[in-house]
Amino acid sequence: MIAQEQLSESMRVFLASFAACLSVALINGYPLLFNDSFHYLGLDPWVGAGASRSITLDFLARPFYPVFGVWSVILIQATILSYLISLFSAQYLTGGRILELSALIIFSQLPFFAGFVMADVWFVIFVLAFLSVIKTFRWPPFLILAFAITVHGSHLYLFIISTILALLIFNERLQIVKVSIATILLAIIFTSLVNGLMGNDRSHELSWSLLGSKILFQIPEAIDHKCTDDPSFLMCSHRENIQESVLDWCNEPDCFVWDERSFFREIDLGERRTASKELFTYTLLNKPVEFTKATISDFLSLFKVTCSDDFGPQDNQAAAIKANNAEYARSLQAAGIWSHESQGCLMQKSFKLITYFLGAIGLLVLSLFFRSQEVIKVGLFCVIVFLANDLLFAVVSGNYPRYHDRGLFLLIIPALLAISELRKLRKST
């Protein structure tokens, strides 16, 4: 009887989470697209020639795309998220109100990222899967975890940080070590298999390019000093171009990677990676104060109450998808509802403020009243991993709101845990 009640509760949580995760895409009238979305829909023309994004999500989506079209990635993400949230609820929460859970999911902006044809939401997926398997090993969340860390170039670094943090916080150290080693091995095997079937994944080279672009934009004197010390350095022949770009059109840290006017477009991805690594090493050794100041400034800027314009109308690469889908033209995204200073943006700002408030109150309640219990460890773990994500992107690519917003659900978890523990306490008195 108890097992049936637990199954019934898990199913209610799953269905409520699934509806919440799909809510934004359904309200929008179409999945949210970005200029890179076609990479994750089995439509990447560079697969086989060296894709500039991780191709594992592409690999997962391809069998479903002929049936579900652009909705394939969205349905996969919503299903996996809902399953993991139901596991988290069963493992860490006392049965609560479904409406309450749904509201907190929506406030965290998780539905925006679940309904977004990009790899961002897989950060939350890997954290939830990791929390599940270190408590009770199950094959499905373990396989999801191994897959999730292959989906985005940042996830392996964040997984290593999460493992170290978990060893410091939780008592299940042997389980954590075994799971982490097995996860990395399986991720390597899976990535090698996908690369063998579909071509070379060069997304790691793009990550270094982002770091190189950040230095050129934020610490332009670094390239001047580097070229004085080593005139043969690859980027030195583009020095005037770099200076003109920063004065003219380059207005954000990643501009040299994405803008078609950038001299980066004239350099092979591999050579760009090597040059960016060399520039980073030089800057770190010779301009550590400047680099640290820029990173701290970017980290703090991520907490501004703003919204990313990445949910606004998209052009360029996304046109490959839009051309075959008249539904996009009728979507709220195409109408600019989610753009800066629109109603949708104001809503996102409001939700972010609510998330900050609930997360802070939740962590405070756990710290004051439940310090000796497991839940405070889980809450702290989620908050610190969230901050580690922000710090990583502050180092690599600067102030980019979407990378911050993708993890906001982790700030809601202390609130969920606090509500659950308070409900449990009230029932026992």
Residue 201: helix, strand or coil by DSSP?
strand
As a dihedral over the C-alpha atoms of residue 226, residue 229, residue 233, residue 237, rounded to 10 degrees, the angle is: 80
- Is 374 a residue whose pLDDT tops 80? yes
- Is 117 a residue whose pLDDT tops 60? yes
Indicate the pTM of the whole model. Answer: 0.93
| Residue 291 confidence (pLDDT) | 96
| 57 within 8 A of 122, measured Cβ to Cβ | yes
* Domain coordinates in residue numbering, the chain: 2-202+305-428, 203-283
Give the whole-angstrom CA distance, residue 275 versus residue 233.
8
| Per-residue tokens: 23 | 């809510």
Contacts 24+ apart (CB under 8 A), 335-341: 336/312, 337/28, 338/28, 338/32, 338/307, 338/311, 338/312, 339/309, 339/311, 339/312, 339/313, 340/307, 340/309, 340/312
| Residue 49 confidence (pLDDT) | 41
DSSP assignment letter at 382? H
| Residue 342 confidence (pLDDT) | 76
Give the whole-angstrom CA distance, residue 212 versus residue 51.
19
| 252 within 8 A of 217, measured Cβ to Cβ | yes
| Residue 194 confidence (pLDDT) | 81
CB atoms within 10 A of CB 309: 16
Q: Where are the alpha helices (DSSP H) in 342-400?
A: 343-369, 374-396
CB atoms within 10 A of CB 158: 19
- Is 271 a residue whose pLDDT tops 50? yes
| 248 within 8 A of 312, measured Cβ to Cβ | no
Contacts 24+ apart (CB under 8 A), 405-408: 405/109, 405/112, 405/113, 405/307, 405/308, 405/348, 405/352, 406/113, 406/120, 406/121, 406/123, 406/124, 407/123, 407/124, 407/127, 408/108, 408/109, 408/110, 408/352, 408/355
Average pLDDT over residues 123-132: 98
Give the whole-angstrom CA distance, residue 118 versus residue 124.
13
Region at 319 (left for phi over 0; alpha for psi -120 to 50; beta for the rest): alpha
Average pLDDT over residues 34-44: 69
Q: Give 57-113 pLDDT, tens digit per residue.
A: 888 888 888 888 889 999 999 999 999 999 999 999 876 678 889 999 999 999 999
Average pLDDT over residues 28-35: 88
DSSP assignment letter at 311? G
Range scoring the smallest mean pLDDT among 109-113, 196-200, 383-387: 196-200
Q: What percent of the chain has pLDDT over 90?
A: 57
- In the block, tokens 């997304």 appear at 203
Residue 51: helix, strand or coil by DSSP?
strand
